[in-house]
Amino acid sequence: MEELHLFVSTQLEIFLEEYSRDILEIFRISQRYLISRREKGDSLESLSKEHHWSSWSCHGFIENMKRHSAGYCAMYGICGTRSDGKALNCPFGRPSVKPDDLFSSKIQSLCPTISGNVCCTEVQFDTLRSQVQQAVPFFVGCPACLRNFLNLFCELSCSPDQSLFINVTSIKKVDKNLTVDAIDFYVTEAFGQGLYGSCKDVKFGTMNTLAIEFVAGGARNFTEWFSFLGRQAGLDEPGSPYAINFLSSIPESSGMTPMNDTSYLCSDTSLGCSCGDCPSSATCSKSVAPSPHKGGSCALKIGSLQAKCVDVAVAIVYISLLFMFLGWGIIHKRKEMKTVSRTKPLMKVSGSQDRDSEKQKDGNLSLPNLEDITWTSNGVEFSVIQGYMSNFYKNYGMWAAKRPFLVLFSSLTIVLVLCLGLIRFKVETRPEKLWVGPGSRAEKEKQYFDSHLAPFYRIEQLILGTMPDEVGKPPSILTEDNLKLLFQIQQKVSGIQVNYSGSIVSLADICLKPLGQDCATQSVLQYFKMNPENFDEYGGINHVEYCFQHFSSAEMCLSVFKAPLDPSTAVGGYSGSNYSEASSFIVTYPVNNAMDRESIETKTAVAWEKAFIQLAQNELLPMARSRNLTLAFSSESSIEEELKRESSADAITIVISYLVMFAYISLTLGDSPRLSSFYISTKMLLGLSGVVLVILSVLGSVGFFSAVGVKSTLIIMEVIPFLVLAVGVDNMCILVHAVKRQAQELPLEARISSALFEVGPSITQASLSEVLAFAVGTIIPMPAVRVFSMFAALAILLDFLLQVTAFVALIVLDFSRTEDNRIDCFPCIKMPYSAGPENGVECKDGLLTRYMKEIHAPVLSLWGIKIIVISVFVAFALASIALSTRIEPGLEQKIVLPRDSYLQGYFNNVSEYLRIGPPLYFVVKNYNYSSESRQTNQLCSISQCDSNSLLNEISRASLIPESSYIAKPAASWLDDFLVWLSPEAFGCCRKFVNGSYCPPDDQPPCCASDQGTCGIGGVCKDCTTCFLHSDLLNDRPNTVQFREKLHWFLNALPSADCSKGGHGAYSNSVDLKGYENGVIQASEFRTYHTPLNKQIDYVNSMRAARNFAAKVSKNLQMEIFPYSVFYMFFEQYLDIWKTALISLAVATGAVFIVCLVITFSLWSSLIILLVLAMIVIDLMGVVAILDIQLNAISVVNLVMSVGIAVEFCVHLTHAFMINVGDRNQRMKAALATMGASVFSGITITKLVGVIVLRFSRSKVFVVYFFQMYLALVLLGFLHGLIFLPVVLSLFGPPSRCIKNQEERRSTSSTVINS
């Protein structure tokens, strides 16, 4: 070792005096190298011979290389290659060399800043060219960035002053030659910052990300970028074959100067970049990025309390109304007291006379001649319509009572004929046919997208997650055991084989293959090429974590389908970009889709999906649970299959509900039970018949619409029977009770006629209101709701017609059975009359009737109670208005599915784990690419594109994702095509001498597929770029060039030498039908929405995208629309409030008109309208409290609530108008006569029909039907039996009793005369 030191020292002393600074560094390198070789046992003689030490003599070395001087090279020539074929420079310096003219022109084409002598051979330059050509396509859209990037490597490789800023620090023996193993490259910070600043915003459209992610490893500043560029690449990895240590500060004694070429700003006008690649460009400053949308509504701050403006406004209105009402009440009370004190004697006299006359009438009851009953019968004045209706029901009742069998069989025959349509009965379960209106904009856009481009692929997905620990935080999924489990799961999924039509189908047969070979499975296993044997070889977990950081740049991390795999698509449950803390693996299998649902391709995919779900349920789920993991899964057809399963899920619930309703009807319709005659007085057979009529009305409705080709839905099958039963039972009870109220001395025909005369008009009014309210739902575009409204409206109409026909006939038969003393349910058995009901026994009022008459009505007549009732109900109504503003549009998918569906867990996991939103496409129609059109620059986002182009605007919108819901710049086939054509991208668009397409050098035939490496030369050595700059007009192709080369681009495979190939990434992005005429009918630019976790996010993202597209379309005078797969299902929510308000206005207006036409009383119609409005408003408040979303189902429920609520108002208002006395007296009388019927015949029957829905297995029925209808019934009961009586007692219309009007006139004239 001492000999070696002496040997080296002797050489140093010879040259130290004259050339110490120049040679000191190289000898230090040699010293380190020689020492290391000597330590390995090499002799001095062998070292001297091997490295030609004689050439390192004093004068020979100085002649070949003067260290760190202008005009001298630090490296020159290639002295070896690595095993992967990468060239290694010689570490020997020499004076720079003057190239010949041809070589000089080649250098100028790539490195215009280098002229004269150079420090590289032609082979070195070709190596430089082949290496930088991989990065050129990333930056060519921004000339300033590309120029800076090329200048950096041109100076490194060929600068004539190379030795001034490059210092070889390590050498290595390769093939018996010394080669460069490491260098120091001194670059000024100004150049580094300029380089990074010009490139940091440049996009790489193919992957919807920034180019810096691929070329700089996601560097956040120039030092990180230099570190990325300078690392020594491993074998078969992209990067430098030797280490480059980028430095900015140089020791003063070194005599070196850092490289400080001029760096161009991206805003430089001569090398200007687009706004998308350079937001700081002067042309972009005129188009300022939109400011973030400030969410939230108007709010006021009062001290420390912050309240919404609507809440404050409602509070002010309520206080104002309360004071106005109290003031009116005080004034009214005083006037009433004065009037009472002046008229009290007269009222006593008249009152006693009235009572005497009434007692006399009651005592001398005579049978009236029903044929002589007029429209003013019993001293009551009817409107014209009511008169006609009453007269019709009077005559019809008499006729039907005499011919019950004819009425019964004729009505049943008509309904049974309608039921014949059931032979064409079909159920619609396809989601797009249930929830998307025909002819909607979203459906048209989907059809356009599918027909001109390609249907969005089918998605099959697995989500494997960890269980939360004790503190509720799930641990990382990234363990060796979990990855090996994922390989096992993948093996089972790949092994699924389905026999369809005699063919064996596997995932490989149906999956999406962008490059035609391998499935585009999105899985973390792609980092191991989907091969479990690579797990240990690649480094296991460490390799995954490495790929998380270098997925875009490391070749070892590329997927088997030759594309980078973004970790955000393969793992979930992490924060920021910390993928290592991910708590779930997300595996997505894209499967080819077809427009025709009946095609072999679609049916094959569905068959495989069924096997996939079966495998997940039977095998994969137990595997995950055995390792304390969760597994969620879904297929494209899952929702439809689960909806089909739901159709039979509630059969038991339906049967139980009808049994409960049947039992209640039987009890309600029957007489007060007597032990001696209960088997005669019960109405079980009549109740059962009523239930059968309800079923027939539903079947008739379904049969009619099935006959005309309208498919049914699950909502119709499960909900309409309950609703029709609940609605229909009311009229049954009212009819039976009306017959019971008639004088028993009358013949049965007269009682039936009199009962129909009494309640027929009000039943008709309520039923027509319900039918109209349900029919209004047909204006809602959602097919499931529109069809539901059609079926329900017809079913209620048929039920009403059957009630006034068949059920009236059944009443006649049942009362005849009772009078004939026959047993209920066994009418053929006749009992002796002694066992029948006792004749002549006075019927006593029931408990409920006595409560209404003796407690409820007197309490409501108290003045203090009235004030409380009005105040409370108005307060709740105003509060409901404020609450309704908090209702969000949407319909959670989980609610529509059965509670035990495997999709419930899947949707929970999607919202919890996914960190990327749905794909978003901006579709351009009729793009004119001809030379005469400016539309190319109006769309693109590279150099010389318009600052307000579509893609630049998308880039700006992605800067404010909180309001635009756009997560990334768009992948642009047009940008990549223009870059691919560019002469700068010399490795992309190339042609053979004969003019045919020449692929990049790393693709066949330029590079044989079985070759490990691809050298320069071979069959493609004479390939040239498609165009020179002089061939293009302002760097844009003309019409012919565009047309000819577009096919080449779309068929070009991407590779390392040209990443811009369009095959795979853009195969379906352009519609080539008829494009030869200069117009492309349809093309798309793909980006992504931000993660959408709530229904309101989906709605707002769709609204934002449409607003954005409308603005850009208007500015560019082009037709552009956004498209995403979920738009079709969420379009309805954009205007759901408008639809709801219009529907409610039409429904209440229809009910108001029906009431006005039938009663001919504006006063009473307005009161009914007021109560209906308050019921609907209060119901909306309850909807907000229960956190029920606003969608077509809730809207139709609100609309139907108008019709159902009518029953709580009509009968009581009618009774109030036909009674005598002042308002308080008439209110009491109305409650006494109709209060019990409203409670037992309307409220309870509806409760019984609705409560059964609580036990449905589908949550949609529980939330949207049980909860909403239960709230409706309770609100209707409270308003009908508490609020309405108080309103009538204060503001009710005048009595229509002629006797009461005459008394009032007589009283008032007496008061005036006195």
pLDDT digits (tens, 9 = 90+) for 1117-1170: 999 999 999 898 888 888 888 888 888 888 888 888 888 888 888 888 899 999
Convert 820-842 into a string of H (helix), E (strand) and C (coil): CCEECCEEEEECCHHHCCCCCCC
pLDDT band with cut points at 50, 70 and 90 for residue 646: low
According to DSSP, the residues that pair with 584 across neighbouring strands are 465, 572
Place of tokens 């691809």: 1014
Instruction: List all residues 6 or more positions away from 1278 whose beta carbon is below 8 Å from its beta carbon.
Output: 873
pLDDT of residue 1101: 94
User: Are residues 885 and 308 in contact, defined by beta-carbon separation less than 8 angstroms?
Assistant: yes
Buried b (16+ CB within 10 A) or exposed e, 471-490: eeebebbbeeebbebbbebb
Least confident of 374-388, 523-537, 1241-1255: 374-388
CA distance 418 to 412: 10
Instruction: List all residues 6 or more positions away from 533 whose beta carbon is below 8 Å from its beta carbon.
Output: none
Among 468, 486, 510, residue whose Cα is nearest residue 586: 486
Number of C-beta neighbours around residue 652 at 10 A: 11
Mean per-residue pLDDT over the chain, rounded = 81
Judged against a pLDDT cut of 90, whether residue 620 lies above it is answered with yes
For residue 100, give the 3-state DSSP assignment. coil
CA distance 289 to 436: 35
Among 890, 936, 953, 967, residue whose Cα is nearest residue 1110: 953
CA distance 438 to 435: 10
pLDDT of residue 846: 65
Among 1256, 1157, 1257, 1154, residue whose Cα is nearest residue 1202: 1154
pLDDT of residue 2: 45
CA distances from 467 to 464, 582, 637 (A): 10, 12, 28
Number of C-beta neighbours around residue 789 at 10 A: 24
CA distances from 268 to 143, 265, 940 (A): 9, 5, 19
Judged against a pLDDT cut of 90, whether residue 703 lies above it is answered with yes
What is the model's pTM? 0.77
Strand pairing category for 1079-1088 and 299-302 = unpaired
pLDDT of residue 345: 45
Instruction: List all residues 6 or more positions away from 263 whose beta carbon is below 8 Å from its beta carbon.
Output: 148, 151, 190, 191, 193, 194, 195, 198
Residue 1283 half-sphere exposure toward CB, CA atoms < 13 A: 26
Residue count (the chain): 1314
Judged against a pLDDT cut of 50, whether residue 58 lies above it is answered with no
Judged against a pLDDT cut of 70, whether residue 145 lies above it is answered with yes
Judged against a pLDDT cut of 60, whether residue 32 lies above it is answered with no
pLDDT band with cut points at 50, 70 and 90 for residue 626: very high
CA distance 1293 to 1023: 97
User: Are residues 1022 and 1032 in contact, defined by beta-carbon separation less than 8 angstroms?
Assistant: no
pLDDT of residue 1114: 94
User: Are residues 89 and 133 in contact, defined by beta-carbon separation less than 8 angstroms?
Assistant: no
Among 457, 693, 550, 483, residue whose Cα is nearest residue 224: 550
Strand pairing category for 458-466 and 584-591 = antiparallel
Task: Give percent above pLDDT 70 in the chain.
Answer: 81
pLDDT band with cut points at 50, 70 and 90 for residue 833: low
Judged against a pLDDT cut of 50, whether residue 3 lies above it is answered with no
**Burial label, 392 (beta-carbon count in 10 A; 0-12, 13-18, 19+):** middle
Segment 152-169, tens digit of pLDDT = 999 999 999 999 999 999
CA distances from 439 to 789, 1077, 1292 (A): 19, 30, 48
Span 132-161, average pLDDT: 87
CA distance 1237 to 1216: 14
Span 35-63, average pLDDT: 47
Segment 1069-1126, tens digit of pLDDT = 999 998 999 999 999 999 999 999 888 999 999 999 999 999 999 999 999 999 999 8
Tokens standing for residue 171: 């050498």
pLDDT of residue 719: 67
Task: Give percent above pLDDT 90 in the chain.
Answer: 32
CA distance 455 to 605: 14
Span 611-621, average pLDDT: 95
pLDDT of residue 40: 54
Any long-range contacts for 288-293 (C-beta under 8 Å, 24+ apart)? 289/956, 289/959, 289/960, 290/956, 290/957, 290/960, 290/963, 290/964, 291/960, 292/960, 292/962, 292/963, 293/960, 293/962, 293/963
Tokens standing for residue 56: 């390192």
Buried b (16+ CB within 10 A) or exposed e, 526-538: bbbbbebebbeeb
Span 1221-1231, average pLDDT: 87
Judged against a pLDDT cut of 60, whether residue 57 lies above it is answered with no
Residue with more model confidence, 1260 or 842: 1260
Place of tokens 């379309």: 1113
CA distances from 1251 to 647, 662, 1244, 1265 (A): 20, 14, 10, 10
Judged against a pLDDT cut of 80, whether residue 740 lies above it is answered with yes
Span 708-730, average pLDDT: 74
DSSP for 233-255 reads: P-TTSSSBSSEEEEES---GGG-
Among 483, 527, 459, 461, residue whose Cα is nearest residue 629: 483
pLDDT of residue 8: 44
CA distance 378 to 244: 111
Number of C-beta neighbours around residue 1089 at 10 A: 25
Judged against a pLDDT cut of 80, whether residue 1036 lies above it is answered with yes
Number of C-beta neighbours around residue 434 at 10 A: 21
Span 701-711, average pLDDT: 91
User: Are residues 629 and 465 in contact, defined by beta-carbon separation less than 8 angstroms?
Assistant: yes
pLDDT of residue 840: 41
pLDDT of residue 337: 61
H-type helices in 133-275, by residue range?
A: 136-139, 143-158, 189-199, 211-215, 222-230
Among 38, 58, 40, residue whose Cα is nearest residue 48: 38
Residue with more model confidence, 608 or 792: 608
Span 221-243, average pLDDT: 86
Residue with more model confidence, 504 or 833: 504
Measured over the CA atoms of residue 997, residue 998, residue 1002 and residue 1008, the dihedral's sign is positive
User: Are residues 482 and 464 in contact, defined by beta-carbon separation less than 8 angstroms?
Assistant: yes
pLDDT of residue 819: 82
Span 1189-1218, average pLDDT: 84
Q: What is the dihedral of CA 1166, 1168, 1170, 1171, to 10 degrees?
A: 170
Span 353-358, average pLDDT: 41
**Burial label, 629 (beta-carbon count in 10 A; 0-12, 13-18, 19+):** buried
Judged against a pLDDT cut of 50, whether residue 360 lies above it is answered with no
Instruction: List all residues 6 or more positions away from 557 whose beta carbon is below 8 Å from its beta carbon.
Output: 527, 546, 547, 550, 551, 564, 565
pLDDT of residue 605: 93
pLDDT of residue 370: 35
Residue with more model confidence, 614 or 176: 614
CA distance 954 to 960: 10
Judged against a pLDDT cut of 70, whether residue 295 lies above it is answered with no
